[in-house]
Amino acid sequence: MEGIRGHAYAKPVPAMRTYLEGIAKDQPGSEEWPIVIAALGPLMLKLSAERARGAVPYNVTPEHTARAAKILEPNKCLAVEQKVCLETDAGRARALGRKEVARYLALDNYRNCWLGLPDADSEATIRALRHICRADPQFARPGS
């Protein structure tokens, strides 16, 4: 990605800290701006707690959400995106989940977020990412 939009790659947390400092410099009331950070890892979540109103993690598991909530202060916003699949056939749900997750497996930030999960290409990982692959008839009924 470096150079595509005229940006130089830097370590994400120091780069975000520098960005936040830059936009707020000499701006009265900037501490009240409604800034949230798209944070996945624990260090970026910590920065979100320190310098923003909260975090908006994308494509995370319920376990990640629980960890993020512990890192953020109770008065901080935590607005997560968790994928779900409303499919009653478990095999089809896993296939759909596998297809959806595939594009993210090539991205270091998501692979790093999912560290600790089994091999990223394994069925165990697909099961671990069950928020994407759940096949529960109770939730897959029309109108529910």
Tell me: the pLDDT tens digits for 40-50? 989 999 999 99
CA distance 102 to 105: 5
Mean pLDDT of 90-110: 81
Per-residue confidence band for 144, with pLDDT thresholds at 50, 70 and 90:
very low
Q: What ranges do the domains of the chain cover?
A: 12-78, 90-140
Question: Alpha carbon of 124 to those of 7, 94, 135, 139: distances in Å?
Answer: 37, 11, 16, 23
Rounded to 10 degrees, the C-alpha dihedral 74/34/15/19 comes to -150
CA distance 135 to 69: 26
Measured in residues, the chain has a length of 144
CB 13 within 8 A of CB 38: no
